[in-house]
Chain A
């Protein structure tokens, strides 16, 4: 696959944007500035970046509790995202969703989701509406983790998508841990893509830390699905470099394991590739990182300066009209 230098740099920058956002979110969570709890996408950036780049604005995705990367890759404004993480008024969800439930329907993000596998039925419904009622050529990408593949909703959704031949790409981000439990223990198969066979759909496993492999595979898969191939289960092997949530004591794994995995993380891996191709040097690299540090610093300032919604505004947005509240 012939990919221009400009496109490769664009993809690199997208991963840097996501990483920069996540590092700042982590820092501000430890500062006690961000309430609640957050789940970082650090180490998994190549997946959202390599897949979502092939989507149109009107294509739809469902995300997970670890959803910042998907939102940013789909074009979210870091300012409005950070404001949401801070629970502020102009955040994407007016402060009602927070990190774990961040969503923006105009961007085609049908929700990060606090329920493991919660997005899969939503994706199934979106695919059904597109294929059977609206009859457009939109596609749906459902992101979820290896933990979600052990839930009933995963199995129901794959069967459902298969029998109706829906335009859905099921992307499992196999990051090795479902909360604190290792998937080698908790999952019956080594490759979750093998489960596709049970639903008579195509299953593919790629190195989710290799941006090019993800990008090139996704190009083919998304084009095929858009042209009516039916659903595909695309498994991206990666590693959750951070805890399940920020502050996770991580008593279930050794530091050495994590240190080893840092050597395989997607951004430096892609940097090495770009440098070999002579598309990137240290100077440009530093410029790019500085650029996104600034973008995120501005997002942070924006979020800090934004106001909180009033307490009483908690009583809005449940319904579109004013019936049914019964306070």
Chain B
């Protein structure tokens, strides 16, 4: 199948543009998207095509998020930019008390096809209020599907699904991913939610990860292969729902599980994965389940401190040493 190379940001734009062509009720709005093309340029690929459906808004997060409910109930399919994951908190009630609850509280009267999307995660020295990864919170709270892709091909296919399914979705697009290039099929395709991707097959340790940490884990896996340690790197791609089957089957094969995420280790989503795996595959585990995550402080501005707080390949390598191979 023919493929083209494109950035993660352009893969998103391609998916949205294709679906906008088919569905005139899809529109997107948020801060800095129409004139600027997104604070990281992530909307630039969309400009000049459906400009009446790409709308700048005031800095008014309660309305930016809460309005999605009204827009969906009025018969449209809104894609809502959250600007920085950190600022989800400024309109959090509209998400937790409205978007996540309305369908349930109404007894399932209508679908709520809402997409919240935006950048999350560490960028260099953005400090504590501009570099948070907070996907665990959205996995904890019932009522929204959580998508957290690591490659252009994945983000394209997951957006195609998101724009053709009936429920609220939040997409976390790591800042460091937008410019990352990869090959994407020229033909349209969808990737179902809840289907993990084994990014690298291996036999000794199962690594479950997402987003930027997929790439850190892949680098660690390449280095460890030289010393004869084989990692199987599983990219969950979606946290709600998450692919238990692929993870548990892998753990049954390797007997070891390492969970790697950029968000804080304490009560991060890795704890949930670990708990389910020990319930369902306890007898297969040869070692404790280990986790890599950020240290439990806000992200510091100072470069050396940020490197210390935020996990990367080195943390994966260090954690692997704990396993009795």
A residues near B (Cβ < 8 Å) are: 60, 62, 91-97, 101, 103-106, 110-111, 113-115, 118, 120-130, 132-134, 138, 140, 152-153, 156-157, 159-160, 163, 316-321, 323-326
Confirm or deny: B109 has a beta carbon within 8 angstroms of a beta carbon on chain A: yes
CB-contact partner of B103 in A123, A129, A320, A323, under 8 A: A320
Interface size on B (CB < 8 Å)? 52
Task: Establish whether residues B107 and A96, one from each chain, have CB atoms under 8 Å apart when the complex forms.
Answer: yes
Confirm or deny: B74 has a beta carbon within 8 angstroms of a beta carbon on chain A: yes
Contacts of B65 in A (CB 8 A): 121
Confirm or deny: B48 has a beta carbon within 8 angstroms of a beta carbon on chain A: no
Confirm or deny: B62 has a beta carbon within 8 angstroms of a beta carbon on chain A: yes
Confirm or deny: B73 has a beta carbon within 8 angstroms of a beta carbon on chain A: yes
Task: Establish whether residues B105 and A96, one from each chain, have CB atoms under 8 Å apart when the complex forms.
Answer: yes
Contacts of A160 in B (CB 8 A): 57-58, 60, 63, 67
Task: Establish whether residues A121 and B63, one from each chain, have CB atoms under 8 Å apart when the complex forms.
Answer: yes
Q: What 0/1 readout, one digit per residue, does chain B (84-120) give for beta carbons within 8 Å of chain A?
A: 0000000001100110011111111111000000000
Task: Establish whether residues A120 and B109, one from each chain, have CB atoms under 8 Å apart when the complex forms.
Answer: no
Q: Which residue of A lies closest to B55 (CB)?
A: A132
Contacts of B108 in A (CB 8 A): 94, 316-317, 320
Contacts of B103 in A (CB 8 A): 317-320
A148 to B311, CA, bound (A): 43
Task: Establish whether residues B167 and A320, one from each chain, have CB atoms under 8 Å apart when the complex forms.
Answer: yes
B102 → chain A closest CB, angstroms: 6
Task: Establish whether residues B105 and A129, one from each chain, have CB atoms under 8 Å apart when the complex forms.
Answer: no
| A118-B66, A159-B58 known; A125+B74 contact, CB < 8 A | yes
Task: Establish whether residues A133 and B166, one from each chain, have CB atoms under 8 Å apart when the complex forms.
Answer: no
Contacts of A319 in B (CB 8 A): 103, 145, 166-167
Task: Establish whether residues A134 and B75, one from each chain, have CB atoms under 8 Å apart when the complex forms.
Answer: yes
B289 → chain A closest CB, angstroms: 18
Confirm or deny: B304 has a beta carbon within 8 angstroms of a beta carbon on chain A: no
A148 → chain B closest CB, angstroms: 12
* CB-defined A-B contacts under 8 Å, sample of 20: A93-B107, A96-B107, A104-B106, A104-B109, A111-B106, A114-B97, A121-B66, A122-B70, A122-B73, A124-B63, A125-B70, A126-B73, A129-B71, A133-B27, A153-B62, A317-B106, A318-B142, A319-B166, A320-B166, A321-B166
| A96-B105, A156-B63 known; A122+B69 contact, CB < 8 A | yes
Task: Establish whether residues A156 and B71, one from each chain, have CB atoms under 8 Å apart when the complex forms.
Answer: no
Contacts of B104 in A (CB 8 A): 96, 317-318
Task: Establish whether residues B62 and A94, one from each chain, have CB atoms under 8 Å apart when the complex forms.
Answer: no
6 additional A-B residue pairs with CB within 8 Å, beyond A121-B69, A159-B60, A321-B167: A93-B106, A105-B73, A152-B62, A317-B107, A319-B103, A320-B111
